[in-house]
Structure 1
Amino acid sequence: MFKSILVPIDLADTDLAKPAIATAATLSQTWNGSVRLLNVLPITPVMLAEYVPADFDAQQRATSEEALAIVAAESGIAAPRISTAVRKGGIYHEILEEAAAVKADLIVMTSHRPAMRTYFLGSNAGHVVRYAKCSVLVVRH
Structure 2
Amino acid sequence: MLYTTILAAVDVHSPALARAAIASAATIAGAQGTVHILYVRYYLPTRYSELLSGDFDEREEEDAIADMKTWASEAGLDEARTQIFTRRGRVRDEVITEAQRRKADLIVIASHQPTLSSKLLGSNASAIVHQSPVSVLVVRTDAQ
TM exceeding 0.5: yes
1:12 counterpart SS class: coil
How many residues align structurally? 140
CA contact (8 A) 1:72 1:83 kept: no
1:2 counterpart SS class: coil
What residue in structure 2 maps to residue 45 of structure 1? 45
Q: Gapped runs of 5+ residues in structure 1? A: none
**AA of the residue aligned to 1:27:** I
Q: Does the C-alpha gap of structure 1 residues 89 and 128 become closer, same or farther in structure 2, counting only changes over 3 Å?
A: same
The percentage of counterpart residues that share the same residue type is 36
**AA of the residue aligned to 1:55:** D
What is the alpha-carbon distance in structure 1 between the residues aligned to residue 34 and residue 3 of structure 2? Answer: 8
What is the alpha-carbon distance in structure 2 between the residues aligned to residue 127 and residue 94 of structure 1? Answer: 12
CA contact (8 A) 1:5 1:36 kept: yes
Tell me the CA shift for residue 19 of structure 1.
2.4
Tell me the CA shift for residue 78 of structure 1.
1.9
Q: Gapped runs of 5+ residues in structure 2? A: none
What TM-score comes out, normalization by structure 2 length?
Answer: 0.88
What residue in structure 1 maps to residue 26 of structure 2? 25
What residue in structure 2 maps to residue 9 of structure 1? 10
Tell me the CA shift for residue 119 of structure 1.
2.4
What residue in structure 2 maps to residue 115 of structure 1? 115
Q: Over the residues paired in the alignment, what is the CA RMSD in angstroms?
A: 1.8
**AA of the residue aligned to 2:37:** L
Tell me the CA shift for residue 122 of structure 1.
5.4
What TM-score comes out, normalization by structure 1 length?
Answer: 0.90
2:52 counterpart SS class: coil
Relative to structure 2, which stretch is displaced further, 58-67 or 96-105?
Answer: 58-67
CA contact (8 A) 1:6 1:38 kept: yes
